Chains A and B, each alone.
Chain A
């Protein structure tokens, strides 16, 4: 069944269409949220809230448009909101969670999962992080990224450039090509 048919099914109240869309997108939505938040538990919440919001407003999705960017927009917003709310308690929460049973908040040790790139992403300003994840992880066109994060096309480009430069200077990132580092800093 095509995505457009699934969207039409959702609009008609067909729960199997909701489920199929969820199954198609949940992994990418979760990973996107994880890249944005750096926290498994927060990512799960952002994914959930993103889906709920995307489904609640699916009637506003223009005919012919893809569901993915519609969903990612909601996930990005959910991640932003969660990060804002979580900033104050995250550390204490993690400590108490670890004290409870030695695992992270979701029962999975986030530190085991989180790699150097996600760590480096957490060090970026949120606006640069969003652009990098949407543009290079999800492979969305710049115009789509601009629509999702709510900025101009040129801003997407500049944020991507600044974010990549900062990432390239992050220590311990194995994905960098040694010969590229010099040109980036040139």
Chain B
């Protein structure tokens, strides 16, 4: 077999290149440009009124949907190229305690805000700020029609807002020293937090941010699971970089 490209093969290569260019012309970058936010659907999940829990303890074994969600999270972690196993294990989602009262708050010193529309489904939204190599992964999880849940693992210097009906809900601010405002962080796993922001309550659950960060870029990453509205109800999720928190 010849190893060098014959004239015919060279011609074939050029034709192949031209045909491939024509074919790939259909593949255009999505909206978002410099710091694109995109959504991918992983798994449809319902959150029951009892909530669900993925964890090292066997509580969720009796909750079928919890198992589905944990599996989906694990798959999502692999899909994202990050080892989110610990995050998935520590994920807790519970019904949103303030379903009918979206918090209205305009974030201070807003410098960058990316949003993406997503329909109900289990999504990963990713935001990358290239110059700083800050990567934010956002996963959204559909609750039932009347329930919402939020789970956050976030880097320092990032404020995450959940936009509902065009209004921002700040679910957490994360500082460079590893602390976070607006949420209570429990123990080593950083599991479970009931956040109060502007008088409204939002469930926020932290997974192990240290491990997530270590697996990804050197500085800022976040993995967020956000409960969206009912099937077919689009919501916007915003990930905001706040200068003064860096």
Seen from chain A, the residues whose Cβ lies within 8 Å of a Cβ on chain B are 10, 13, 15, 18-19, 22-23, 26-27, 30-31, 34-35, 40-41, 43-45, 47-49, 51-52, 55-56, 81-82, 85-86, 88-89, 92-93, 96-97, 99-101, 103, 105-107, 113, 115-118, 121, 132-133, 135-137, 139, 154, 157-158, 160-162, 164-165, 167-168, 174-177, 180, 183-184
Q: Are A160 and B128 in contact (CB under 8 A)?
A: no
Known: A27-B29, A88-B78, A96-B72. A105 touches B128 (CB 8 A): no
Contacts of B11 in A (CB 8 A): 177, 180
Q: Are A164 and B13 in contact (CB under 8 A)?
A: yes
Q: Are A107 and B81 in contact (CB under 8 A)?
A: no
Seen from chain B, the residues whose Cβ lies within 8 Å of a Cβ on chain A are 1-6, 8-9, 11-21, 23-30, 33-34, 36, 38-44, 72, 75, 78-81, 119-122, 126, 128, 130-131, 133, 135, 217
Q: Are B8 and A183 in contact (CB under 8 A)?
A: yes
Contacts of A103 in B (CB 8 A): 41
Q: Are A97 and B130 in contact (CB under 8 A)?
A: no
Q: Are A115 and B5 in contact (CB under 8 A)?
A: no
How far, in whole Å, are A184 and B133 apart by their CA atoms in the complex?
46
**Nearest CB to that of A110 among chain B residues?**
B27
Contacts of A180 in B (CB 8 A): 8, 11-12, 15
Q: Are B16 and A19 in contact (CB under 8 A)?
A: no
How far, in whole Å, are A104 and B205 apart by their CA atoms in the complex?
28
Known: A117-B19, A135-B13, A177-B15. A97 touches B41 (CB 8 A): yes
Main SS of chain A's interface residues?
helix
Known: A97-B40, A184-B9. A85 touches B17 (CB 8 A): no
Least distance between B188 CB and chain A CB atoms (Å): 27
Contacts of B41 in A (CB 8 A): 96-97, 100-101, 103, 105, 107
Q: Are A164 and B44 in contact (CB under 8 A)?
A: no
Known: A45-B80, A158-B3. A100 touches B122 (CB 8 A): yes
Q: Are A100 and B44 in contact (CB under 8 A)?
A: yes
Least distance between A49 CB and chain B CB atoms (Å): 7
Extra 19 A-B pairs, beta carbons < 8 Å, given A18-B130, A106-B38: A18-B131, A41-B79, A44-B38, A48-B36, A49-B81, A52-B130, A85-B78, A100-B41, A100-B42, A100-B121, A101-B44, A105-B42, A115-B23, A136-B14, A136-B17, A154-B3, A160-B5, A161-B9, A184-B12
Known: A22-B34, A106-B38, A164-B9. A52 touches B15 (CB 8 A): no
**Nearest CB to that of A31 among chain B residues?**
B24
**Nearest CB to that of B39 among chain A residues?**
A107
Q: Are B133 and A52 in contact (CB under 8 A)?
A: yes
Known: A106-B30, A167-B16. A161 touches B42 (CB 8 A): no
Q: Are B15 and A175 in contact (CB under 8 A)?
A: yes
Please, could you name 14 A-B residue pairs with CB atoms under 8 Å apart, sorted by A?
Answer: A48-B135, A52-B217, A89-B79, A96-B43, A101-B44, A101-B121, A118-B24, A136-B16, A136-B20, A154-B3, A160-B9, A174-B19, A177-B15, A180-B15
Q: Are B78 and A22 in contact (CB under 8 A)?
A: no
Q: Are B30 and A44 in contact (CB under 8 A)?
A: yes
Contacts of B8 in A (CB 8 A): 180, 183-184
How far, in whole Å, are A88 and B16 apart by their CA atoms in the complex?
30
Least distance between A154 CB and chain B CB atoms (Å): 7
Least distance between A130 CB and chain B CB atoms (Å): 13
Q: Are A161 and B27 in contact (CB under 8 A)?
A: no
Instruction: Find A165's partner among B9, B43, B131 (CB 8 Å cutoff).
Output: B9
Q: Are A132 and B16 in contact (CB under 8 A)?
A: yes
Contacts of B133 in A (CB 8 A): 52, 55-56
Least distance between A152 CB and chain B CB atoms (Å): 11
